[in-house]
Amino acid sequence: MIWHCVIPVKAVGKGRPRVTKSGNAFTPVKTRLVSNQIKYWLLANKPKRIFDGALEVSIEFWFIKPKSAPKKRYYPTVKPDLDNCDKLVLDCCNKIIWNDDAQIVDLYSQKRYGIENQIVVKVREL
């Protein structure tokens, strides 16, 4: 089975949990907001059944190129870090697209400049 989804959201890296003086941990607001947007689009486009086997996942993060970026810069080599973006999307997919992200055996991800901010997720059951 193959599934894909285009999420019209600007990617951010998964923020580290913060701890208050009283010892309570919380997720940063920016991470929580983007996570909720991603989950909304995943739920709206979820597959007919949750994937339960070994998976190959491809994630493309598309960013609008800022006008201040040099013309010769072809790839977004600035924050957010690719691995932190991956973590956020993969965690959002748990229990919606697959049972747990431990099922992923092949992961391909890339950051690119494009005409709009979006995340493209493709999943293939092996």
Task: Note the pLDDT tens digit of each residue in 35-82.
Answer: 999 999 999 999 999 999 999 999 999 999 999 888 898 999 999 999
Can you give the pLDDT at residue 19? 85
Residue 17: CB partners within 8 Å, gap ≥ 6? 25, 26, 27
Order of strands, edge to edge, in the sheet holding 55-64? 2-7, 118-125, 55-64, 104-114
Residues 18-40: tens digit of each pLDDT: 888 888 888 888 999 999 999 99
List domains and CATH numbers for the chain.
2-16+24-125 (3.30.1330.70)
> What are the tens digits of pLDDT across the range 83-102?
999 999 999 999 999 999 99
Beta-carbon contacts of 49 under 8 Å, excluding residues fewer than 6 positions away, are: 1
| Backbone phi, psi, residue 110, to 5° | -155, 150
Q: Determine the pLDDT at residue 31.
A: 92
The pLDDT value recorded for residue 95 is 97
pLDDT of residue 46: 94
pLDDT at position 47: 95
